[in-house]
A and B are shown apart, each in its own frame.
Chain A
Amino acid sequence: MFCYQCEQADRTGAVPGCAGPLGNCGKDPATADVQDLLIHSVKGIAQYASRARALGAGNDEAAGFILYSVFTTLTNVNFNPTRFVALLQEASDIRDRVRARYEEAARGRGLEPERLTGPAEWQPAPDLDGLLAQAPAFRVDAGLDLVGPDVVGLRSLHLYALKGICAYAHHAHVLGRHSTEVFGGVEDGLAYLAGEPADVDELLDRAIGLGRLNLAVMELLDAANTGTYGPQRPTAVRTTPVAGKAILVSGHDLRDLAALLEQTKDSGINVYTHGEMLPAHAYPLLKAYPHLAGNYGGAWQDQQREFARFPGPILMTSNCIIEPYPAYRRRIFTTGPVGWPGVRHLADGDFSPVVQAAKAMPGYRTEGPERFITVGFGHDALLAAADQVVDAVRRGAIRHFFLVGGCDGPTVGRDYYRDVALGAPDDAVVLTLGCAKYRFNQHDFGAIDGIPRLLDLGQCNDAHSAVRIAQALADAFGCGIDELPLTLALSWTEQKAVAVLLSLLALGIRGIHLGPSLPAYLTPGLVAVLVDRFGLRTIGDPKTDIAAALERAGA
Chain B
Amino acid sequence: MTTSPIEATDATDATDATDATSTIDTTGTTNATEVSPVTLTTSDGEHLDFGCAPGQTVLEAAAAWGAALPAACRRGTCGSCRATVTDGVYDLDTHSPQALPPGERDGGAVLLCRTRPHGPLTADLPYDNSRILYGGIPVREGTVTALKPVARDTVRLELLLDEDEEQGAGFQFDAGQFVEVRVPGREERRAYSLANTGNWDGRVELFVRLRPGGLFSSYLRDRARIGDRLTVYGPQGAFGLRETGTRPRWFVAGGTGLAPLLSMARQMAEWQEPQPARFFFGVNEAEDVFAETELEAVAVEARAFTYEVCVWRPGTGWRGAAGTPADRVADALRTVDAAGELPDVYVCGPPPLVETVATAAVAGGVPPDRVFRERFLPT
A residues at B contact (CB < 8 Å):
8, 10-12, 22, 24, 26, 80-82, 85-86, 89, 126-128, 131, 301, 304-305, 308-309, 311, 322, 325-327, 330-331, 341-342, 344-345, 347, 356-357, 359-362, 410-413, 517
Interface 1/0s, chain B 49-76, versus A by CB < 8 A?
0000000000000000000101011111
Q: Closest CB of chain B to A25's CB: distance in Å?
A: 8
Report whether B244 and A360 are in contact in the complex, using a CB–CB cutoff of 8 Å. Answer: no
Q: Considering only CB atoms, which chain A residue lies closest to B271 in the complex?
A: A344
Report whether A12 and B94 are in contact in the complex, using a CB–CB cutoff of 8 Å. Answer: yes
Q: Using A80-B243, A342-B241 as known contacts, say yes or no to A412 and B99 having CB atoms under 8 A apart.
A: yes
Q: Which of A85, A331, A359 lies in contact with B245, CB distance below 8 A? A: A85
* From B168, B172, B240, residue with most partner A Cβ within 10 Å: B168
Q: List 13 A-B contacts (CB under 8 A).
A: A12-B77, A24-B77, A81-B244, A82-B273, A127-B245, A127-B247, A131-B245, A322-B72, A325-B133, A330-B198, A362-B167, A410-B78, A412-B99
Q: Using A10-B73, A82-B243, A330-B198 as known contacts, say yes or no to A308 and B133 having CB atoms under 8 A apart.
A: yes
New contact pairs (9) apart from A412-B78, A413-B98, CB-CB < 8 Å? A24-B77, A80-B243, A81-B245, A82-B245, A82-B246, A127-B341, A326-B135, A342-B243, A362-B166
B307 CB within 8 Å of chain A: no
CA of A127 to CA of B247 in the docked complex: distance in angstroms?
6
Q: Using A331-B172, A357-B200, A359-B200 as known contacts, say yes or no to A345 and B271 having CB atoms under 8 A apart.
A: yes
CB within 8 Å of A: which B200-259 residues:
200-202, 240-241, 243-247
Report whether A305 and B70 are in contact in the complex, using a CB–CB cutoff of 8 Å. Answer: yes
CA of A326 to CA of B76 in the docked complex: distance in angstroms?
23
Residues of B within 8 Å of A357, CB to CB, are 170, 200
B residues at A contact (CB < 8 Å):
68, 70, 72-80, 94-96, 98-99, 130-131, 133, 135, 165-170, 172-174, 198, 200-202, 240-241, 243-247, 271-275, 341
Residues of A within 8 Å of B131, CB to CB, are 305
Report whether A12 and B172 are in contact in the complex, using a CB–CB cutoff of 8 Å. Answer: no
Residues of B within 8 Å of A362, CB to CB, are 165-168
Report whether A356 and B243 are in contact in the complex, using a CB–CB cutoff of 8 Å. Answer: no
Q: Using A82-B245, A410-B80 as known contacts, say yes or no to A8 and B73 having CB atoms under 8 A apart.
A: yes
Report whether A517 and B98 are in contact in the complex, using a CB–CB cutoff of 8 Å. Answer: yes
Report whether A128 and B244 are in contact in the complex, using a CB–CB cutoff of 8 Å. Answer: yes
Report whether A361 and B170 are in contact in the complex, using a CB–CB cutoff of 8 Å. Answer: yes
Residues of B within 8 Å of A82, CB to CB, are 243-246, 273-275
Q: Can you list the 6 inter-chain pairs with the closest CB atoms, starting with the nearest?
A: A128-B245, A330-B172, A360-B200, A361-B168, A24-B73, A341-B243
Report whether A81 and B243 are in contact in the complex, using a CB–CB cutoff of 8 Å. Answer: yes
Residues of B within 8 Å of A128, CB to CB, are 244-247
Report whether B245 and A10 are in contact in the complex, using a CB–CB cutoff of 8 Å. Answer: no
Report whether B245 and A361 are in contact in the complex, using a CB–CB cutoff of 8 Å. Answer: no
Q: Using A24-B75, A128-B244, A344-B271 as known contacts, say yes or no to A12 and B169 having CB atoms under 8 A apart.
A: no
CA of A338 to CA of B174 in the docked complex: distance in angstroms?
20
Q: Closest CB of chain A to B71's CB: distance in Å?
A: 9
Report whether A127 and B246 are in contact in the complex, using a CB–CB cutoff of 8 Å. Answer: yes
Report whether A10 and B75 are in contact in the complex, using a CB–CB cutoff of 8 Å. Answer: yes
Report whether B243 and A360 are in contact in the complex, using a CB–CB cutoff of 8 Å. Answer: no
Q: Which of B76, B78, B275 lies in contact with A8, CB distance below 8 A? A: B78
* From A8, A126, A327, A412, residue with most partner B Cβ within 10 Å: A412
CA of A359 to CA of B202 in the docked complex: distance in angstroms?
12
Q: Using A82-B245, A85-B246, A412-B79 as known contacts, say yes or no to A12 and B170 having CB atoms under 8 A apart.
A: no
Residues of A within 8 Å of B275, CB to CB, are 82
CA of A382 to CA of B241 in the docked complex: distance in angstroms?
52
Residues of A within 8 Å of B68, CB to CB, are 325
CA of A360 to CA of B201 in the docked complex: distance in angstroms?
7
Residues of A within 8 Å of B79, CB to CB, are 410-412
Report whether B78 and A360 are in contact in the complex, using a CB–CB cutoff of 8 Å. Answer: no
CA of A347 to CA of B243 in the docked complex: distance in angstroms?
18
Q: Which of A86, A311, A322 lies in contact with B246, CB distance below 8 A? A: A86
Q: Using A85-B246, A305-B130, A308-B133 as known contacts, say yes or no to A24 and B173 having CB atoms under 8 A apart.
A: no
Report whether A360 and B168 are in contact in the complex, using a CB–CB cutoff of 8 Å. Answer: yes
Q: Closest CB of chain A to B66's CB: distance in Å?
A: 12
Q: Considering only CB atoms, which chain B residue lies closest to A345 in the complex?
A: B271
Residues of A within 8 Å of B76, CB to CB, are 12
* From A12, A305, A357, residue with most partner B Cβ within 10 Å: A12
CA of A325 to CA of B173 in the docked complex: distance in angstroms?
13
CA of A412 to CA of B79 in the docked complex: distance in angstroms?
6
Q: Closest CB of chain A to B230's CB: distance in Å?
A: 20
Report whether B274 and A330 are in contact in the complex, using a CB–CB cutoff of 8 Å. Answer: no
CA of A517 to CA of B77 in the docked complex: distance in angstroms?
13
Q: Considering only CB atoms, which chain B residue lies closest to A355 in the complex?
A: B200
Q: Which of A347, A360, A412, A413 lies in contact with B169, CB distance below 8 A? A: A360
CA of A195 to CA of B311 in the docked complex: distance in angstroms?
60
Residues of A within 8 Å of B172, CB to CB, are 330-331
Residues of B within 8 Å of A356, CB to CB, are 200
CA of A80 to CA of B245 in the docked complex: distance in angstroms?
8
Q: Considering only CB atoms, which chain B residue lies closest to A126 in the complex?
A: B341
Q: Which of B98, B169, B240 lies in contact with A11, CB distance below 8 A? A: B98
* From B76, B94, B341, residue with most partner A Cβ within 10 Å: B341
Q: Closest CB of chain B to A99's CB: distance in Å?
A: 24
Q: Which of B96, B170, B272 lies in contact with A360, CB distance below 8 A? A: B170
Residues of B within 8 Å of A304, CB to CB, are 70, 133
